[in-house]
Amino acid sequence: MPLSEKHLETIQKHSESIRKYIYERCNVCDLDMPWDGGDAEWIYGEPWDLDETVHEAVSEVCALELEPDDLREAIRELDLTCPGCGNQWESGTLVALESADPIDLEYLAENKHKIDAVQVSALIGFADISGFSEWMQRSVLSDMERKGLMSEVIREFVKFKASTPYYVKLLGDGLMFVHKIAEKSEKGVVINNFLERVHDLVVNVEDIISKTATPRPKGFRARVTYGEVFEISATDILDKSKRQTDYIGYAVNLAARLLSVEETIPLLCTERVAELCPRVPHIEFLDLAASMPCLKGIDKEDLLALKQVRVVPMF
- The answer to whether residues 86 and 37 belong to one domain is yes
Indicate the residue among 96, 112, 136 that finishes a domain: 96
- Which of 16-30, 31-45, 51-65, 270-284 has the lowest average pLDDT? 31-45
Q: Closest by alpha carbon to 72, among 86, 52, 88?
A: 52
- The answer to whether residues 106 and 194 belong to one domain is yes
> What is the Cα–Cα distance from 87 to 156, expressed in whole angstroms?
30
- The answer to whether residues 174 and 230 belong to one domain is yes
Which structural domain, as residue segments, surrounds residue 42?
5-96
Band of pLDDT at residue 234, cut at 50, 70 and 90? confident
Domains: count for the chain: 2
Cα–chain-centroid distance for residue 269?
A: 14
- The answer to whether residues 90 and 110 belong to one domain is no
Which of the two residues, 163 and 237, has the higher pLDDT score? 237
- The answer to whether residues 192 and 238 belong to one domain is yes
- The answer to whether residues 174 and 245 belong to one domain is yes
- The answer to whether residues 294 and 160 belong to one domain is yes
For the entire predicted model, the pTM comes to 0.69
- The answer to whether residues 178 and 240 belong to one domain is yes
Give the sign of the dihedral formed by CA 198, CA 203, CA 205, CA 206. Answer: positive
- Which of 130-134, 204-208, 252-256, 297-301 has the lowest average pLDDT? 297-301
pLDDT more than 70, % of the chain: 79
Could you read off the pLDDT of 286-299 as tens digits, one per residue? 988 665 676 777 77
Whether the CB-CB separation of 73 and 2 falls below 8 Å is answered with: yes
Per residue, the 3-state secondary structure of the chain, as one string, reads CCCCHHHHHHHHHCHHHHHHHHHHHHCCCCCCCCCCCCCEEEECCCCCCHHHHHHHHHHHHHCCCCCHHHHHHHHHHCCCECCCCCCECCCCEEEECCCCEECCHHHHHHCCEEEEEEEEEEEEEEEEEECHHHHHHHCCCCHHHHHHHHHHHHHHHHHHHCCCCCEEEEECCEEEEEEECCCCCCHHHHHHHHHHHHHHHHHHHHHHHHCCCCCCCCEEEEEEEEEEEEEEEEEECCCCCCEEEEEECHHHHHHHHHHHCCCCCCEEECHHHHHHCCCCCCEEEEECCCCCCCCCCCCHHHHHCCEEEEECCCC
Give the Å distances, CA to CA, from 38 to 83, 116, 151, 179. Answer: 11, 19, 29, 8
> Residue 269 sits in a domain of what CATH number?
3.30.70.1230
> What is the Cα–Cα distance from 218 to 157, expressed in whole angstroms?
18
- The answer to whether residues 91 and 114 belong to one domain is no
- The answer to whether residues 179 and 224 belong to one domain is yes
> What is the Cα–Cα distance from 65 to 106, expressed in whole angstroms?
59
- The answer to whether residues 201 and 54 belong to one domain is no
- Which of 22-36, 135-149, 244-258 has the lowest average pLDDT? 22-36
Question: Which among 168-182, 229-243, 280-294 has the top mean pLDDT?
Answer: 168-182
- The answer to whether residues 69 and 200 belong to one domain is no
Indicate the residue among 76, 96, 116 that finishes a domain: 96
Indicate the residue among 96, 124, 141 that finishes a domain: 96
